[in-house]
Amino acid sequence: MSNGSKPNIVLILADNLGWGELGCYNGGLVRGAPTPRIDKLATEGLKFLNFNVESDCVPTRSALMTGRMPIRTGAMQSVPAGLPQGLIPWEVTLAQLLSGAGYSTGMYGKWHLGDREGRYPKDRGFDEWWGIPRTTNESMFTSTPGYDSSIVSLPYVMEGRKGEPARNVELYDIEMRRRIDSELITRTNEFMRRQVKAKKPFFAYVPLTQVHFPTLPHRDFAGKTGAGDFADSMVEMDFRVGQVIDEIEKLGIADNTILFFGSDNGPEFRKPWRGTAGMWRGTYHTSMEGSLRVPFMMRWPGRITPGRISNEIVHITDLYTTLARIGGAEIPKDRPIDGVDQLDFFLGKQENSNREGFVFYIKQEMRAAKWRDWKMHFVWEPEPNTGPIHLETPWIFNVTRDPKEETEATMDGNWVRGPFRRLIDSFQESLKRNPPIPPGAPDDYVPVSR
């Protein structure tokens, strides 16, 4: 695409939003929380029923930003204490690709891929950033009995611009936790206005903090549903998404703007903030379908036919490759990229996804794999912290016939062991040729392929 025809890209990512929470995924009023703005958005383009992510916040965000499975990048659930978090500088982020292709890039929200100079968003391809470097539960620190700021640093909302040091702007406490998404949307809309005035294509990445625990709504939404904090927070999130949609319409850029909305992983399992994956079983931190499948939708007026719904397999890494093509950016050729180009599928030029399956790791352990309608588990942990049980023989489920993964397909499913073996062997061979980056690797670490 020529520079003048590059579409704007807006990616809104909810935090810990389960497949069964939104009205358009059979939640909404059932959960005490109507979501009319997001439900309408789901009818205006392509709604995914089989969009897959990683086990929790860090690995999904690393997969999105690099197009690579987290086992490759070392950006998994956690790193050893005292070692640097997130992505090493050698990784090439989606923001870097789009920036290099002429896009203005802004991020407003939760990063969770590096919390020191050299690894903040403003160092990784974003022209500007306002948000939190790590995660939302840090907002509970200062109100927790016994908290000692001389031992553990105070959590802050931060701001950063390319080429400048990041700075703390406001203490991230419980009250700021209630207000932060309102601030994120205000800054997102202001960023879009500036880029439209400058006539520059833009990439706005908006990783919201709702509905991550502590799931607390803005004071304007507290008590709005009568169904508690979680429902109030859902209604607030729906309103925030609507604010972005309204700004896009007001600016007259809807036809040239690709808008994504989705979630980074399956629902929270902790009480009292427990979420739901609807018809699927499980929560994040597991390899159940309720962890892998999340609500996801996209709109591109004039390019994507409204009302499309697909159960084809798509993985979060695919956004990296697809958006690079849309933006006219060059994919790195010196490393394995796991994302596949899905543009023709997204545009309806073909019925099927370009992906048939993927392998699924939690930290450095392969837990499961998906292929077509089938799922193979190597480690069984239907609820976090209930196992894990390492299976002597992998269990196979047909998730179309058995969405709760309750009955192993021992009689009619054995034939799929062959396709699964080829999928897994191919991925593991690529790990041998390109060994994974160790978690906590230093900034100067450069992988060596074999």
Q: Does residue 2 carry a pLDDT above 60?
A: no
Q: Label residue 314 by pLDDT band (50, 70, 90).
A: very high
- State the pTM of this model: 0.96
Residues noted as catalytic = 57, 112
Specify the CATH number for the domain of residue 368.
3.30.1120.10
What pLDDT score was predicted for residue 404?
Answer: 96
pLDDT averaged over the chain? 95
Specify the CATH number for the domain of residue 45.
3.40.720.10
Among 53-62, 292-301, 410-419, name the one with the lowest average pLDDT: 410-419
413 and 323 within one domain: no
296 and 169 within one domain: yes
Q: Does residue 410 carry a pLDDT above 80?
A: no
- For residue range 36-54, list pLDDT tens digits in order: 999 999 999 999 999 999 9
Query: Which run of H or E residues covers position 186?
Result: helix 174-198
Measured between alpha carbons, how far is 37 from 384 in angstroms, rounded to an integer? Answer: 32
What pLDDT score was predicted for residue 409?
Answer: 83
Among candidates 381, 403, 423, 350, which has minimal Cα distance to 55?
Answer: 381
Would residue 76 count as lying in a domain? yes
Six token digits for residue 376: 């193979």
Which residue segment(s) compose the domain that 252 sits in?
3-346
Query: Residue 38: what are its φ and ψ, rounded to 5°?
Result: -70, -40
171 and 201 within one domain: yes
The pairing of strands 167-171 and 202-207 is unpaired
421 and 387 within one domain: yes
- For residue range 108-142, list pLDDT tens digits in order: 999 999 999 999 999 999 999 999 999 999 999 99
Q: Please classify residue 425 by burial: count the beta carbons closer than 10 Å to its beta carbon, then call 0-12 exposed, 13-18 middle and 19+ buried.
A: exposed
Percent of the chain residues topping a pLDDT of 90: 91
Percent of the chain residues topping a pLDDT of 70: 98
- For residue range 16-31, list pLDDT tens digits in order: 999 999 999 999 999 9
Q: Residues in the chain, how many?
A: 450
- For residue range 141-186, list pLDDT tens digits in order: 999 999 988 888 899 999 999 999 999 999 999 999 999 999 999 9
Q: Does residue 266 carry a pLDDT above 80?
A: yes
